[in-house]
Amino acid sequence: MTHILEFEKLVRYDSGKSGISINVQVRSGQDSTTFEAKIDTGSTYCIFERIHGEKLGIEIESGLRESISTASGSFWAFAHQITLVFEDYEFDSTVYFAQDENFNRNVLGRHGWLDRVIIGINDYDGKLYLSRYES
Amino acid sequence: MQAVLDEIIEKTRSLTNEERDELIRRLQKQAETSKSNGGKNPSPNIEWLKEHRDEYAGNYVALKDGELIAVGKTIKEADLRAKEKGVKNAFLHYIVAEDEEIWGGW
């Protein structure tokens, strides 16, 4: 049985690099900042470096505090509502900014990103297919 | 987004000085409003989550301006229930279950 999916966008990425990354912009009010984030289906939420939240003028510690587990321990992060923009798509979402300023990863996780898009990955050719989920 | 911006800029070229001043005034007002509500401190939805997260653990919640609109086991369920109540762009958030770890991936 064949299954056919149609996507609105094709994003090319460097399959020679570590991880599958796309450019994202986070926005709060009139402030915004753009950076590269890795798609991580194993991450419960979208988690970003503290500096990105600070660039938006957000008081990081005023958000919802949660402990995030990793294979080697855990760290604290704070949830905030921001607008997430990528490839001409934008939606309000919850993202977590790490408390530790030395935390240097940015991941697009399952809740807040993956549950709002439809993706197809052809890693062999470095192609990411993307559509916004519209119910 | 850039195309929309270019289109708007192009359209402003035909405005009179008075109309342009009015546009600037309105945009500044919009920016001020956005700043005051723009989430520098937690948004009303995040404040709601701080207060009620434990009551809805393991569910998706659909929120609007700090009020609960709908609940669902999946994002689709919560979204559709919010839409049934006339709220199209509800803020959707998954609250992890009590026995569920928030995993950072990698």
Q: How far apart are CA A4 and CA A13, in angstroms?
A: 23
Q: What ipTM describes this predicted complex?
A: 0.88
pLDDT tens column, A113-122: 999 999 999 9
Note the pLDDT of residue B27: 77
Coil, strand or helix: which one is B98?
Answer: coil
User: Residue B31 is encoded by which pair of tokens?
Assistant: 């920016």
Given a cut of 90, whether residue B3 has pLDDT beyond it is: no
Read off the pTM: 0.80
Given a cut of 90, whether residue B9 has pLDDT beyond it is: no
A63 vs chain B: nearest CA distance in angstroms?
6
Which are the contacts of B15, defined by CB distance < 8 A and separation ≥ 6?
B23
Q: Find, among B53, B87, B91, the residue nearest to B75 by Cα.
A: B91
Note the pLDDT of residue B41: 72
A45 vs chain B: nearest CA distance in angstroms?
7
Given a cut of 50, whether residue B36 has pLDDT beyond it is: no
Residue of B80 and B14 predicted with greater confidence: B80
Residue of B105 and A15 predicted with greater confidence: A15
pLDDT tens column, A17-35: 889 999 999 999 999 999 9
8 Å CB contact of A59 and B40 = yes
pLDDT tens column, A38-73: 999 999 999 999 999 999 999 999 999 999 999 889
Mean pLDDT along residues B2-14: 78
Note the pLDDT of residue B6: 79
Q: Chain A residues with CB inside 8 Å of B105's CB?
A: 40-44, 47, 70, 107, 109
Coil, strand or helix: which one is B28?
Answer: helix
